[in-house]
Amino acid sequence: MDFAETTVADLRDSIARGETSARVTAESSLDAAEKLNDSLNAFLEIDRDGAVNRADEIDSKIVSQKAAGEKSALPALSGVPIAIKDNICVRGMQTSCGSRILGPYHPPYNATAIERLLDAGAIIIGKTNCDEFAMGSSNENSAFGPVKNPWDTSRVPGGSSGGSAAAVAAGIVPVALGSDTGGSVRQPASLCGVIGLKPTYGRVSRYGLVAFGSSLDQIGVFARNASDAAAVLQVIAGRDHHDATTADVAVPDYSRELEPEIKGQRIGVSRALLGEGLDREVRASIETAINAYRDLGAEIVDVDLPHAKYAIAVYYIIATAEASSNLARYDGVRYGFRAEEAPALRDMYRKTRDEGFGPEVKRRIMLGTYVLSAGYYDAHYLKAQKVRTLIRQDFLQAFEKCDAVLTPTSPTPAFRFGEKVDDPLAMYLNDVYTVTANLAGVPGISVPCGLSSEGLPIGMQLLGPYWSEATLLRLAHAYQEKNPLGARPKIHA
């Protein structure tokens, strides 16, 4: 089944009418996952039995409704295959976070987002590979090997949610969930040529998302088009009593909000963000996208984000500090991996963390512990929080002039494996355009906007005010309708 040729809503309706079945759809997705995983390494677990059983339940419900003479009324995602990043808890399936320290851990509960997907009829086909504990921009930090980019398997898919991005790009599933702490949904979406949506902080529950940076993390959505992203967000968004940081803000009908024209919408552009460090072909694609929005009737206005230049430094202080705190729980006592041959408790702690964590996670734990330590807290962590406030204020002032800000998503197209892995600073700079949204808590979406001369996808990013996901999805939808990417990856289902 070619998921590129249908939307999530059309797929559900086709299943409801009996033109296909949930089982046929699930098996098509499972077959593609198993067939392509040797090439892509996108999945860490594929749950054929669970997915087929769930599909059969949906098909049985449809048969029962028809036998009773009832019109088949299915939930929004009935029969829709979906892949889940391996740092989001799914009961009965592994949650390793791409790390040996969790290894075969199977949580006894579902994340709130997963419960809502299941209630909506979605079929989870597997857990996707990711950078260890979501720390990375290339998926080279997974303890289980890197994910390959479907467009060119010699190149990275982006990170940390590279497995979910690759699974959608390759047509294995129409939609997938990832997490975004500093760009981990939007950056791989850009490098793999798909939609990647990070909601406003507090729009989607973090209950059941394994914590990296608690004030930054958000569950996000990958899809091939804005309408599918809207359908999934509709299901998972909203207040959750399990997560005190979720906001009691009404969830609009995202699918219905796609349709109004964007004529008169104001899109802000900060020319300072289109200068040094930006790949020439990415800059050209962004300029073309700006002109495309003019042609669609949008007004392009200049905005200034003066503190954006400090965002990388601020992010890698706050994120590592929170990581140091959150990852202290992995000590070999409560769950996951425990080192052997450790004669004393302190030795067991030390050996477990040394053997269980990879080098990037260790680096960030050490950085975070340093900035939180006595004598350095005020100089680093406290100052970073103050600059974070300034970044948030920059966005508030910019949104007084515009409805969304347009930037590149990533400074370059997908780079080759090994190209940056030994240079942490060069790797961190891949997030230069995305971390601001997490620091400010605003929503962002990456939209495919072109191909490089080597045939690699390029993405643009749209950032909006708090709770403006509907506007971002509408802008993305309008652009895709007139400017579809067209090309397909070399590896696809």
Q: Provide the annotated active-site residues.
A: 85, 160, 184
From CA 447, how far away is CA 461, in angstroms rounded? Answer: 6
Residue 3 has what DSSP assignment? Answer: G
78 phi, psi to nearest 5 deg: -60, 125
Question: In angstroms, how far is CA 158 from the centroid of its own chain?
Answer: 10
Kindly write down the DSSP assignment for every residue of 380-434, as one continuous string.
Answer: IIIHHHHHHHHHHHHHHHHTTT-SEEEEESSSSSPPBTTSSTT-HHHHHGGGTTT
Helix axes 311-326, 359-372, angle to 10 degrees: 100
Report how many helices (DSSP H) and strands (DSSP E) the chain contains, helices first.
15, 11
- The three-class DSSP label of residue 177 is strand
Contact 151, 489 (CB under 8 A): yes
Q: What is the DSSP letter of 379?
A: I
Distance of CA 223 to the CA centre of its chain: 10
H helix runs in 279-413, sequence order: 280-295, 311-326, 345-356, 359-372, 383-398
Burial of 81 (0-12, 13-18, 19+ CB in 10 A): buried
DSSP-derived letter for residue 209 is: B
CA distance 60 to 353: 48
- Mapped to the 3 state alphabet, what secondary structure does 451-477 carry? ECCCCCEEEEEEECCCCCHHHHHHHHH
Tell me the sheet residues that pair with 322.
none
Tell me the C-alpha to C-alpha distance, in Å, between residue 114 and each of 393, 458, 481: 34, 30, 30
Sheet order of strands, 218-223 included: 43-46, 123-128, 81-85, 175-180, 218-223, 195-198, 444-451, 457-463, 404-408, 266-269, 299-302
- Mapped onto helix, strand or coil, the DSSP state of residue 45 is strand
